[in-house]
Chains A and B, each alone.
Chain A
Amino acid sequence: MKDEIQTPADRSANLKGMGCSRKRVEDVRFTQGKGNYVDDIKLDGMLVGDFVRSPYAHARVTAIETEAALKVPGVLAVLTAKDLEPLGLHWMPTLAGDKQMVLADGKVLFQGQEVAFVVATDRYAAADGVAAVEVEYEELPVVTDPFRALDPDAPVLREDLAGQTEGAHGPRRHHNHIFTWEVGDKEATEKVLDEADVVAEEMVYYHRTHPMPLETCGCVASMDKVTGKLTLWGTFQAPHAVRTVASLISGIAEHNIRVISPDIGGGFGNKVGVYPGYICSIVASIVTGKPVKWVESRMDNLMSTAFARDYWMNGRIAATKEGKITGLWCHTTADHGGFDACADPTKFPAGFMNICTGSYDIPVAYLAVDGVYTNKAPGGVAYRCSFRVTEAAYFIERMVEVLAIKLGMDAAELRRINFIREDQFPYQSALGWEYDSGNYHAAWDKALTAVGYDALRQEQAQRIADFKAGKTRKLLGIGLTHFTEIVGAGPVKNCDILGLGMFDSCEIRIHPTGSAIARLGTISQGQGHATTFAQIIASEIGIPADDITLEEGDTDTAPYGLGTYGSRSTPVAGAATAMAARKIRAKAQMIAAYLLEVHDGDVEFDVDRFVVKGAPERFKTMKEIAFASYNQAIPGLEPGLEAVSYYDPPNMTYPFGAYICVMEIDVDTGEHKVRKFYALDDCGTRINPMIIEGQVHGGATEGYAIAMGQEIVYDDMGNHKTATLMDFFVPTSWETPHYTTDHTVTPSPHHPIGAKGVGESPNVGSVPCFSNAVHDAFRPFGLVQSHMPHDQWRIWKIADDLGLHG
């Protein structure tokens, strides 16, 4: 046989298992325009829905006139809240325990809110129908400032909550207040602050932005009135959860709902939530008996489906005069918009913001978050991060810089003397997390050496001298960040969404000829699951990755899981994949032993086969074992070779990284150029280095956008000012910096393969790194804090305020 002359290394390479930069199997269809996205789905008789949206941020809806719209050729129906009310569907529950209007019920709370749903034979007729619906509004005072929203005389936004002093997350103290969430030891922290040598205080604002996946949100709902079965295709990051929630909301039995996530063109958190378009499409399909499609336009997406961030983080950090951090205090005002539609685990209304002690050994800390209603779109999703981890990382990485200024210290050295040491892991943080593993000092030193940190500081000093001497108008900023993420939600004992535990799953079936199919409870939105999960299986059971089909996203076939967001796929479903593979390997061992006529314990796994210990010429390959499992009667064993694993992780995983950015800044125009961006990531065991590098490039580019220009802006009237890609910054290849990637490997001790997840690290780490570079350039001239995004006029304003324009 051919493989008898192959070495174990050859056989291992043939598997394309873990550690191999296997090319993405998805890209054949994606790069040829042959993907199958929601908007590619076309069914016989399919109708199209489109929304009438509010032009006002806060108004009473006094009348909706649909007669003219119903006369538009092709328009079949116009749904309003009155039509949904008998079904109890004019409001829907949000993932955060609040409720949200599906269609305007008497008033609107943000510009772009859904007011009526027009159903027509095609999207042109639907748009004409939308234009023909006449809505009478009575404008109300608008609140866009979350601090102003808590004034005693602020307008009442949520009249439906009148008199409710208890919300989903505890007491409400004001009519626009949603919750207060407190973690840590307030008294002890304030005592440390009172007695500290040095305290730095700063308001750190992480502005409102939007995940803006290239593909907008959408669905196709098809109710088969004969079978009573509802099929719902959609851009869902959590198809199984959508099925359960749809069943609970609609009363349709769960076995009669099939949810399918086809190819998804990016999610980044935007596609986790439940949106009015889904409900309206389902109702419209039930009413008309025909499939109904709803797909957002770009403006719909930027105006109405979930935003991210919008956290005002007021911080105080205490230290000894030598720079040892002794305490951290944070009060956050969180602007949630008109409805609280955050996508967080239920017990964490501010997500994992309590990872805000970062990479540092801080003995005592306190965090309080107040959620507030304003006249803005709802959301608050984790835009390429685990829940509110980017906000936390930005906060602590800014506070460390602010402290360095106060102490007159080098910010790299300040970090180094405060890192959690390798011998402290597992580490109990002051705000309640158990960091599983890390070696921060090693990563930091590697990063500083790689960029030539000392030489950069010398160059910067020369630049400042040249600038002061009038020889240059460009400053040099060196941005530093060491971030620690918390991903892989999560242990069912403390992580659920609407009561659904956040385990995940994998089912593997080996076919008689030794190839396989695996199905998972997650869903790729571009992450390359079909490539990487096959690599885990290949390494675990010795079947080449190329011989393994991966399927996700169809709730009728895939095992139940909570989906893909918060970098949870590899930490949770990846673990389930390894565990299911190990069940198969255990059975394969028994089959091999039977075939080789030895005891189970006398064979051992060797890349792609079981060999008799001490007699390597006696073996059975996985191919032979697979065939035998189906076709040979083996005493004591059922036929077949398949397994399923539902994995409830014992802890989160804690990827970390050291990022350094070198940026040139033109003080006269506010323009910048990223000269170098170095990203060292430690995501534990690396499954596919090429995909990791791609993830880092993508995440850092989104981080670059956020830090340097991307924002959702409202004016005082609540008008959305950034609803097109003219003003909402998405970098092209021209603006995108070049990245240098690097890594260390500190495997997770509790994960079956030691992997931690990486998709979101580069967004979490790069935003403070770019921002710190801007701040660092102006530090010698007295800048302490300037809010993002650092677009041209804001950088110019920093220089102007510091008197650098002469």
Chain B
Amino acid sequence: MIPAGFEYHRPADLTSAIGILQEHGDEARVVAGGHSLIPMMKLRMAELGHLIDLQDIDAMKGIAVGGDTVTIGAMTTQHELIVHDGLGAALPILREAALQIADPQVRYVGTIGGNVANGDPGNDMPGLMQCLNARFDLTGPDGSRQVAARDFYEAAYFTAREDEEILTAIIIPIPAPGTGSAYIKQKRKIGDYATAAAAVLVGDGTASVAMTNLADTPIWSEAAGAALAAGDIDGCAAAMLGAIDPQEDMRGPVAFKKHVAAVVLRRAIDSALSRRS
């Protein structure tokens, strides 16, 4: 559990960070909260020459709640999401999900940016961001661009982010007033990834549904959302079950995961519907 040697960088601004990425190419990785990367380094499953710590870049921190959107700096911790004054009212599902990530110690350090950028299928935020139709700000040597969360995830640990880009912020549209939402996660214990988790938004004739850790990417199903928007819960569940592709692991066999996925999804739908106004 001892990582191989590496150079540690702690730039104070984004330009410097990108410069270091450019200089060292795929020898370099950025680290936010480090809860995914550092264990991989300790296991020597990730070996890299240069670690770029982003924690001194103030421009990547903070939460701005606007009229139509919420903008969250990538280096904002899960804890900051939970305790923020206006965020809970604008996006109650974000707080609900953040409270189900790991434990308080992890949430004090773990960031939303690290959670969405790493492409780990176990992370909770990617599926939620797809449900909310969030966009990610990516900044590289040639400037900034935005990528929709629904287009970002390609495979486990593979995303639309280029090697020399840094995910700097997350822009989330605020759902229409009266929209009901719920994030339900089944896990084995505190600190575990989901056996199955569902993010559900239900508004007036609209719906969005995404699930986590049931494929090598988060699964947002347009058909499932459309069915739910039309009030067809069975159709929503059927569409989602058709889209997921869970693998057997220590959490259980495929049949169990599919069964639990349907149960968790239906419970999230029930909860979201009950919160609609």
Chain A positions near chain B (C-beta within 8 angstroms): 50, 123-124, 126-128, 131, 297-299, 668-671, 709, 713, 721-722, 725-727, 729, 731-732, 734-735, 791-793, 796-797, 800, 805
Contact = CB atoms under 8 A, between A and B. Distances in A.
A729 B5 contact: no
Contact of A124 (B5, B252, B256): B5
A671 B256 contact: no
Contacts of B141: none
A668 B251 contact: no
26 contacts: A124-B2, A126-B2, A128-B5, A131-B44, A297-B1, A298-B1, A669-B186, A669-B260, A670-B256, A671-B186, A713-B250, A721-B250, A722-B250, A726-B191, A726-B192, A734-B189, A734-B190, A735-B189, A792-B195, A792-B251, A792-B252, A793-B251, A796-B256, A796-B260, A800-B259, A805-B259
A709 B190 CA distance: 13
B12 to A, nearest CB: 28
A63 to B, nearest CB: 22
B259 A668 contact: yes
A123 B264 CA distance: 45
Given A726-B192, A727-B250, A793-B251, A668 B186 contact: no
The 8 residue pairs across chains A and B that have the minimum distance between CB atoms: A793-B252, A127-B2, A297-B1, A793-B256, A734-B190, A727-B250, A732-B190, A668-B263
| Interface core residue of B5, B189, B252 (most chain A CB under 10 Å) | B189
B231 interface: no
B2 A123 contact: yes
Given A123-B2, A793-B252, A800-B256, 18 more contacts: A127-B2, A299-B1, A668-B260, A669-B186, A669-B260, A669-B264, A670-B252, A670-B256, A709-B188, A721-B250, A726-B191, A729-B188, A732-B191, A734-B189, A792-B186, A796-B260, A797-B256, A800-B259
Nearest to A793: B252
A298 B39 CA distance: 12
Decide if the interface of chain B is mainly helix, strand, loop or mixed: loop
B253 A793 contact: yes
Nearest to A705: B189
A711 to B, nearest CB: 9
B103 interface: yes
A731 B103 CA distance: 13
A721 to B, nearest CB: 6
Contacts of B46: none
A317 to B, nearest CB: 32
B121 to A, nearest CB: 14
B230 interface: no
Nearest to A733: B190
Nearest to B264: A669
B252 A729 contact: no
Interface in B215-268: 250-253, 255-256, 259-260, 263-264
A127 B252 CA distance: 34
Contacts of A797: 256
A525 B148 CA distance: 54
B4 interface: yes
A709 B189 CA distance: 10
Contacts of B195: 792
Interface in B171-198: 186, 188-193, 195
Contacts of B2: 50, 123-124, 126-127
A735 B188 CA distance: 9
Nearest to B193: A726
A298 B42 CA distance: 12
Contacts, number: 69
A131 B47 CA distance: 12
Contacts of A299: 1
A735 B186 contact: no
A687 to B, nearest CB: 34
| Interface core residue of B4, B5, B188, B260 (most chain A CB under 10 Å) | B188
Nearest to A713: B250
A671 B256 CA distance: 12
A529 to B, nearest CB: 31
| Interface core residue of A124, A670, A791 (most chain B CB under 10 Å) | A670
B36 to A, nearest CB: 12
B53 to A, nearest CB: 19
A338 B242 CA distance: 45
Given A668-B259, A793-B253, A131 B189 contact: no
A720 to B, nearest CB: 12
Contacts of A722: 250
Contacts of A671: 186
B106 to A, nearest CB: 12
B190 A735 contact: yes
Contacts of B193: 726
A32 B96 CA distance: 34
A797 B256 CA distance: 8
| Interface core residue of A124, A128, A791, A792 (most chain B CB under 10 Å) | A792
B217 to A, nearest CB: 20
Contacts of B252: 670, 791-793, 796
Contacts of A727: 250
B188 A732 contact: no
A725 B103 CA distance: 14
A59 to B, nearest CB: 21
A646 to B, nearest CB: 43
A715 to B, nearest CB: 11
Interface in B1-24: 1-2, 4-5
Contact of B4 (A128, A297, A734): A128
A725 B253 CA distance: 20
Nearest to B257: A793
Nearest to A791: B188
Interface string B73-103: 0000000000000000000000000000001
A50 B189 CA distance: 32
Nearest to B266: A668
Given A127-B2, A732-B190, A796 B259 contact: yes
Contacts of A50: 2
Contacts of A668: 259-260, 263
Contact of A732 (B189, B250, B256, B263): B189
A729 to B, nearest CB: 6
A297 B195 CA distance: 27
A709 B44 CA distance: 28
A709 B264 CA distance: 21
Contacts of B5: 124, 128
| Interface core residue of B4, B191, B253, B263 (most chain A CB under 10 Å) | B263
Contacts of B191: 725-726, 732
Contacts of A128: 4-5
B194 to A, nearest CB: 12
A806 B2 CA distance: 50
A796 B256 CA distance: 7
Contacts of A729: 188-189
B174 to A, nearest CB: 31
B189 to A, nearest CB: 5
Contacts of A805: 259
Contacts of B251: 792-793
A131 B5 CA distance: 12
A599 B195 CA distance: 78
A209 to B, nearest CB: 14
A562 to B, nearest CB: 33
| Interface core residue of A735, A793, A805 (most chain B CB under 10 Å) | A793
A803 B120 CA distance: 35
A727 B188 CA distance: 9
Given A721-B250, A793-B252, A732 B103 contact: yes
Nearest to A796: B256
A793 B260 CA distance: 9
